[in-house]
Structure 1
Amino acid sequence: MTRFRPFAAGALAALTVLSLAACSSSDSDEDTTVAPVAANDELAALVPEEFRGATLDAVDGDSNPPMYSRDADGNITGITLDLATAAAELLGLEISVEANSFDASIPGLQSGKYDLSLWATDVTEERKQIIDQIPIGKVGYRFLGSASDEPVGDSMDQLCGKTIAAIAGQTTVPLLEVESTDCESAGKPAITVTTFPDQASAILAVKSNRADLATVNSVSGVYISDNDTELQLTGPIFNQKFTGIATAKGNGLGEAFAAAMQELVDNGTYAEIVESYGADSMLLDSVTLNPPVE
């Protein structure tokens, strides 16, 4: 099982069918695959008996590089999959991944359809009641807008009157709804929030003039805007949260993956993977299952 490679230009190019225009650098196609990680017996012993030696079914997104996307061959790639795969190898496990909507990810964990969600799920108190969450980074959110439009300032009240596209179920949605109420209370136009199944669909809404802005996490926002001349990263940074992978609540996989992720932090593999995608801003010093919500 291969572990990871830096995000290749071909991965973004594959997203052009999803309305993400791609630019590439000539040296990003080098095959820098790293040899698989050997299973760690102490960590593998943390895996519940029913899962030991198994291939876990995982759900992921596929249109939000570098967190998750598809490479030139159509395969899912990205930070969340690479980190989960490396952790799984330490635990003596393998991962089989498929793309599905974020809305399907948490119900899929609860029903047993999926063992892991790699959707970079933000950690919230509400979610900690129903799933176990293993943080892999800390991100905030900003907005992608048309490069031809005036940039949005750093104040949330400058969103008043805007139509904003967001991923269905994203933690930005209730915050924007509160902000919309504040706009109206101040005598300003409301914010219109429209939801879409994935980042590519939200961006398409901006490009087709159905939305003024699309929410985007701070890591993906930098990558996408740097590689798509039609878009600019704009507006305030808000909604900073731990984000990560998730398992069903209380089945023991969460504890095992948290311990494995901490080992990846300690041995330097975690930083190596994250930095290979240019996502240094999300790096954590430690990993705690279901961390406190700040």
Structure 2
Amino acid sequence: MTILRMIAAASVAVLALTAEGTADERPTLRIATEGAYPPFNNRNADGELVGFDVDIARALCDRIEMTCVFVVQDWEGMIPGLLANRYDAIIASMAITEERSRKVHFTDKYYATRPAMVVPRDSTITEATDAGLAGRSVGAQSGTTHANYAEAKFPSATLKPYPIPLAYQEELQNGRLDAAIDDLILLSEWVESDSGQCCRILATLPVDEAINGKGIGIAVRKTSPDLRDAFNAAIAAIRADGTYKTINDAYFSFDIYGD
């Protein structure tokens, strides 16, 4: 029995337990995403999962002839949930890092981006350096490469972890936080929205591969190398046939795949 058929057999009961899947005649694949990280994965006004990660997941599932069943999982529990067999893969803007790779297999990247720092519009902070942030509070989503980056690069600042980006954004709006670090695209989208008018991008930060990783990939269990390989072939296929570009252009004005 192939790994995909084993996954399908283990996943049949999931459709009865989640409202996110659409049943058809194809086997199901349980995909974890956060649902709180726009524009990559979040819920729309109707409560439906939307975003770049979600559309990419559906395109990849189509390529491997399976049906995505989405499981919403908080960020801190992503890898533990995968290892506990609550889902089969993570497609949630997860960076490919050495530390995570000790626990899971990653696919090739399906996009890449850079970290950035945001501050209130009237902030007196002039540079995103340790000296420039000394004595300041810097917010980041806990358990992310961005939190690790802030801790490593800005030791003179006070790192404040938050469960989701919305939490540190509200702190910035209310004047209770001096700065925050996150993905450049997420922050750029936010400061251009109504809720982000309080703030501005201070700087795009240099990538440190040891912290930021080698792009964004799909995580699977180490016992699922065939699934990883199937995803890799599917990523290459949607890049080649224009599907990736169609999804990309629905969200971004540039190729998010990177170099």
TM-score (norm 2): 0.82
After superposition, the C-alpha distances for 1:105-144 in whole angstroms (9 at most, x for unaligned) are 1111111012121221011111112112232111111122
Task: String of CA shifts for 1:24-82, please: whole Å, max 9, x gaps.
Answer: xxxxxxxxxxxxxxxxxxxxx98632135422222212232211121121111111111
Distance 2:245 2:43 in 1: 22
Q: 1:284 to 1:250 in 2, by over 3 A?
A: farther
Output the amino acid matched with 2:145. Answer: T
Say which SS state the counterpart of residue 280 (structure 1) adopts: coil
Partner of 1:82: 55
Q: Residue in 2 aligned with 1:171?
A: 145
Contact 2:41 2:52 in 1 (8 A): yes
1:15-164 matches, within 5 Å, as 48-52=4-8, 53-134=26-107, 135-150=109-124, 152-153=126-127, 155-164=129-138
CA separation in 1, counterparts of 2:104 and 2:253?
26
Matches within 5 A, 1:254-273: 254-273=228-247
Cα distance change of structure 1 residues 169 and 85 upon mapping to structure 2, 3 Å threshold: same
2:187 maps to 221
Going from structure 1 to structure 2, the CA distance change for 1:235 and 1:284 (only over 3 Å counts) comes to closer
- Quote the Cα distance in structure 1 between the aligned partners of 2:35 and 2:161: 17
Q: Could you tell me how far apart the structure 2 residues matched to 1:144 and 1:64 are?
A: 16
Distance in 1 of aligned mates of 2:31 and 2:141? 19
Aligned partners of 2:146 and 2:182 also within 8 Å: no
Q: Which moved more, 1:96-105 or 1:81-90?
A: 96-105
User: Any stretches of 5+ residues in structure 1 without a counterpart?
Assistant: 1-44, 182-189, 286-294
Does 2:167 match 1:211?
no
Cα deviation, residue 284, structure 1 = 4.2
Rounded to whole Å, the distance in 2 between the matches of 1:46 and 1:90 is: 17
Unaligned 5+ residue runs, structure 2?
A: 9-25
The 8 Å contact of residues 142 and 235 in structure 1, kept in 2 or not, is answered as yes
Q: Distance in 2 between matches of 1:156 and 1:280?
A: 31
Q: What's 2:202 paired with? A: 234
CA RMSD of the aligned region, Å?
Answer: 2.2
Indicate if the aligned counterparts of 1:219 and 1:281 stay in contact, CA closer than 8 A. Answer: no
Contact 2:106 2:228 in 1 (8 A): yes
Aligned in 2, Cα 1:179/1:73: closer, same or farther, shift over 3 Å? same
The alignment-based identity, stated in percent, is 21
One-letter amino acid of the structure 2 residue matched with residue 277 of structure 1: Y
Contact 2:248 2:255 in 1 (8 A): no
Instruction: Report the count of equivalent residues.
Output: 233
Distance 1:166 1:107 in 2: 21
What CA distance in whole angstroms lies between the structure 1 residues aligned with 2:189 and 2:130? 23
CA distance in 1, matches of 2:52, 2:138: 26
Contact 2:134 2:157 in 1 (8 A): yes
**8 Å contact kept, 1:102–1:197:** yes
2:123 partner SS = coil
Q: Distance in 1 between matches of 2:97 and 2:161?
A: 20
TM-score by length of 1: 0.72
What is the Cα deviation at residue 270 of structure 1? 0.9
